[in-house]
Structure formats: structure tokens, C-alpha cells
Amino acid sequence: MSSNPADEVAARKKREREENPIYIDRVDPKVLTALPNDLEIISVIPSGASAWCETFRIDAKLADGAEKQFFYQTNPGHTGKRMMEGTYESELVYHSYCPSHVPRPIAWGEYEDEPDTWFYLCEFHDMVEEVPHPRTFVSIVAGVHKASMGKSPNGRYGFGVPTHLANVPNNNTWQDSWEAWYTGAMEAMYNFEKSTHGVDEELESIFEALRTKVIPRLLRPLETGGRSIEPCLVHSDLWPGNCMPDADTGEIMIFDSCSFWGHNECDLGSWRAPRYKMGRPFFKEYQKIMGISEPHEDWDDRNRLYAMSVCPCRDQSDLLTVSSRYDLLVSGLYPNEDKFHNLAKHEMKVLVDKYPDGFVDEDTSRVDSPLMEFRSR
């Protein structure tokens, strides 16, 4: 059984929906307007289980008699508006780079009959809950990275609107350097956790060292000493729950993106967690296609750092590969839970202890080494 509070809330909501299903006999006019003309609604039933939104599947019949399904989610208030807009804009741009593998976004907006209630609408795909095959899955992810490399709309790192982890907005402010963007994203999540959990002086000290020592040490060399990287489109939540085969076609579908323009290797952080059963085979396939950013020798610790920002830890076996940023998020959402607060401290301290001196300017001549094997921790 999962020990993640967010998982537990979602599981409880799923049980409640199964025991007391909600059937909607009327779809808001704004949602109807976004659907194909002359469509007949057959049913609207709960679909999936989210701790942060109400989620539904629309079963419909098109004008030509064909049956079609759509997915939509709703949430009220200012947070709901931010979430639905962020979801739509993120999925829209990700879909543009791999349209066969992302449920097509259709619309987002405000209900007509319930002001300040917001929705996101897309095509529905029934999916099989299984870990995708490394070669097939990685080829899709690497394809997006390759196709989008250097195509950030302004050449910078960030995204045009806030996207969300749970219902908490990411800091997607445009930045000229990858180090600056990543630092801002980590600071935003830490400040959120601190606002709800309270100040922990030990964590305050560890995080300050992470911010001023570790992040510069591992990310600044990517863009100094004659080296450079270009922003590409990053999904940022590529765990198996968001990457599943379509039950009808077998095509891998990728969804629930929390996109931004960033360093391509950041998308690999979630693959580090043992519970996801991805790891080495996925890294090797990716490196065959994309290689490794220089300095090559920093690969493993960069991946550990990136795992802090995108890799949700759900159980104790992930202690050495947890996600500090996600743990800070969960700690902030559930301030009565100490586990994720303590796990965040542990994983940050591993890198803080390893790099006490931070970034040291030195001879950074190119290192033309072969592909590195991922080293499991």
C-alpha cells in the first residue's frame, strides 16, 4: 500500500466514486460548444481519480453515428483557472510535437452556468496500466526533445503560463540560464512548503547550501567553459502513471504534462526511482539517441538533482532516490505528515555533503568520453 498522502486521497476518492457514482445529465453549454457539432451525449461518468480536480468521461455519438469519448476535468476559483489554463497550454504544445501520442487538447474555459468554475477538455483514451517498453517509449521522448531543441519561443528557459504540481503553481518565469530557472523552481517549492509546514532551521541551512553550492556546481558547467545547451520542451512528469499504452491501438500515450522549456536531461529524473522499474534500460536507450551533456562525469549527480524536482517518492524503498521538490510539495500539502519533510532533507544533504565548495572555476576542456552507464544508488 502506498504511503504517499496524495495517493491515499486519490485512492479514497476512487473508492467513493465506485461506491457512489456521479452521473451528470447535463453538460455545461461552454463544454458543449467546444465539442463537435450535432453531437449526442449518451452519458457523463466519473473517470480516473484525482485529489485536486473532478474528472469525467463523456460518452457521445457523432452526427455520422460513430461513437466518441472525451475527457474533462473541472475545478473552481482562481486556482482552478490557473490549473485548467496551464494544463491546456502545456498539453497543446506537447501534442504539437508528438500528436500520435498525446490525447488531443480541445479547450479550456469557464462554465456558463457556474461562473468561476473552470474546465479542461480533451479526447479520451482508454489505457493499460503497465510500464512501457524502453525502446518504444524513449524514442518518443527523445523525439520530442530533438524536434523542440532550440525552439523555445524566446530562446529562454521557462514557460508562458504557470503549470502545476498537484494544485501548486510552478515558477515558470523566463530565465536566460538553466541554472537560474532551476534555482527559481526549487525556491518556489521550498517557500510553499515553509509557508504551510513552518520553518525548520536544519532544512533551511541544507536548502541554502543546495541553492548556493550544489545547483551552481552541477548546472553552471553546462553553460560555461565553452559548453552550451539549448532549451527543449520538457514534460517533467514522465513516470509510468502518465505514460501508458492505448488499450485499443497499443500506441504509448503520454499525458498530464507539466511542461516547460528546459534541459532535456531533466525529463529523466523520474526514471531514477526503483519503484517505477525504469532506470538503467531507459537511460541506456536515451543515451544512444541523445548522448550525454557535458561535463559527462557529472551525469549521475545531475540526474540525482533532477530526481529531486520531478520524481515522486511513494515508499520507503525510494529513500535514496526521493524527490526533494516533490517531497516539499507533499509536505506543504499535508503539513501533519513528517515523512516527506524528512526525506527531502535526507536527499538534499547527500549532495550538499558531496559538494561543500560549490562551483569552482577550473579548466573545462571538452571530455570526449563514451556513453556512461547509469550508476544505481
Cα distances (Å, whole numbers) of residue 22 to 84, 108, 243, 345: 21, 22, 27, 41
- Read off the pLDDT of residues 46-74 as tens digits, 9 standing for 90 and up: 887 676 788 999 999 999 999 999 999 99
The CATH number given to whatever domain includes residue 20 is 3.30.200
- Read off the pLDDT of residues 160-184 as tens digits, 9 standing for 90 and up: 999 998 788 889 999 999 999 999 9
Structural domains counted in the chain: 2
Whether residues 174 and 308 share a domain: the answer is yes
Whether residues 215 and 106 share a domain: the answer is no
Whether residues 140 and 88 share a domain: the answer is no
The answer to whether residue 359 sits within a structural domain is: no
Helices 339-354 and 201-209: crossing angle, nearest 10°? 40
pLDDT score recorded for residue 31: 96
Dihedral pair phi/psi, residue 333, rounded to 5°: -75, -30
Average pLDDT over residues 353-365: 81
Residue-averaged pLDDT of the chain: 85
Structural domain range at position 194: 134-354
Whether residues 197 and 295 share a domain: the answer is yes
Q: Who has greater pLDDT, 139 or 377?
A: 139
Final residue belonging to a domain, choices 100, 123, 146: 123
- Read off the pLDDT of residues 190-228 as tens digits, 9 standing for 90 and up: 898 888 888 999 999 999 999 999 999 999 999 999 999
Residue 342: band (very low, low, confident or very high) from pLDDT cuts 50, 70, 90: confident
Whether residues 314 and 192 share a domain: the answer is yes
Q: Who has greater pLDDT, 102 or 308?
A: 102
pLDDT score recorded for residue 324: 52
Average pLDDT over residues 228-247: 92
The CATH number given to whatever domain includes residue 328 is 3.90.1200.10
- Read off the pLDDT of residues 292-301 as tens digits, 9 standing for 90 and up: 999 999 999 9
CA distance 310 to 322: 9
In 246-377 the beta strands, taken as DSSP E runs, fall at 252-254, 260-262
Whether residues 115 and 153 share a domain: the answer is no
Whether residues 254 and 286 share a domain: the answer is yes
pLDDT score recorded for residue 22: 60
Whether residues 276 and 314 share a domain: the answer is yes
Whether residues 167 and 259 share a domain: the answer is yes
Unique residue bearing C-alpha cell 549521475? 300
Whether residues 272 and 194 share a domain: the answer is yes
Final residue belonging to a domain, choices 123, 146, 164: 123
Q: Report the candidate in 275, 284, 258 with the shortest Cα–Cα distance to residue 322.
A: 275
Whether residues 108 and 189 share a domain: the answer is no
104 pLDDT above the threshold of 90:
yes
CA distance between the termini of the chain: 23
Whether residues 75 and 216 share a domain: the answer is no
